[in-house]
Amino acid sequence: MSNDLYEILENSPIIAGIKDDKGLNTVLTSDCEIVFILYGNVLNISDIVQKLKDHGKITFIDVDLIDGFSNKEIVIQYLKERTQADGILSAKASMIKAAKVHGFLTVHRFFLIDSFSFHNLDKQIQISQPDCIEILPGAMPKVISWVIEKVKLPVIAGGLVCEKDDVVAALKAGATAISSTNIEVWSL
């Protein structure tokens, strides 16, 4: 599905990030094909995923943001056995690596806050071997272009992508897709 994911990202480059039940209910009727689940807990994550799957969405769970989970690899096995999620998001290379072993699609998230984090991309990608990466904040076209030159993976720009201008700038800089929790951005 990795090639299929790339094709879906190219054809539908706006990814909905949901951080609460309001976002969940709104995304069900949106045109966004891919949804990043950025909230939930060990008790309700299966229901959140199921609701999205019932509406034909491709789902990625950010394992770093789910209440009641630790950053241990057993979480990945739990999600594989108890949900129908398609993929995993994480800022931790070990979690992405474990998710790959269990057959999930993977998005390795990088918070690019300084030159150290930028120059550390190669090492982390080599460890995790993700299907694609997400860089945050995503409203930095110049940095997006640097990342595109550095890595040979699809790049998602996320975080602080709030308006149409941010979306256009990120895609023009070379991002394959953008992710946003801003409901207005979902319909662009």
- Residue 13 is part of a domain; what is its CATH number? 3.20.20.70
Residue 64 lies in a domain: yes
In a domain, 60, yes or no: yes
**Residues of the chain under the 50 pLDDT cut:** none
Q: Is residue 188 part of a domain?
A: no
In a domain, 77, yes or no: yes
Closest CA to 136 of 165, 163, 107, 164: 107
Whether residue 165 lies inside any domain: the answer is yes
Domain count within the chain: 1
- If you compute the radius of gyration of the chain from its CA atoms, what whole number of angstroms results? 15
- Identify the domain containing residue 82 by its residue range: 2-183
Per-residue model confidence (pLDDT) at position 112: 96
Decide: pTM greater than 0.85. yes
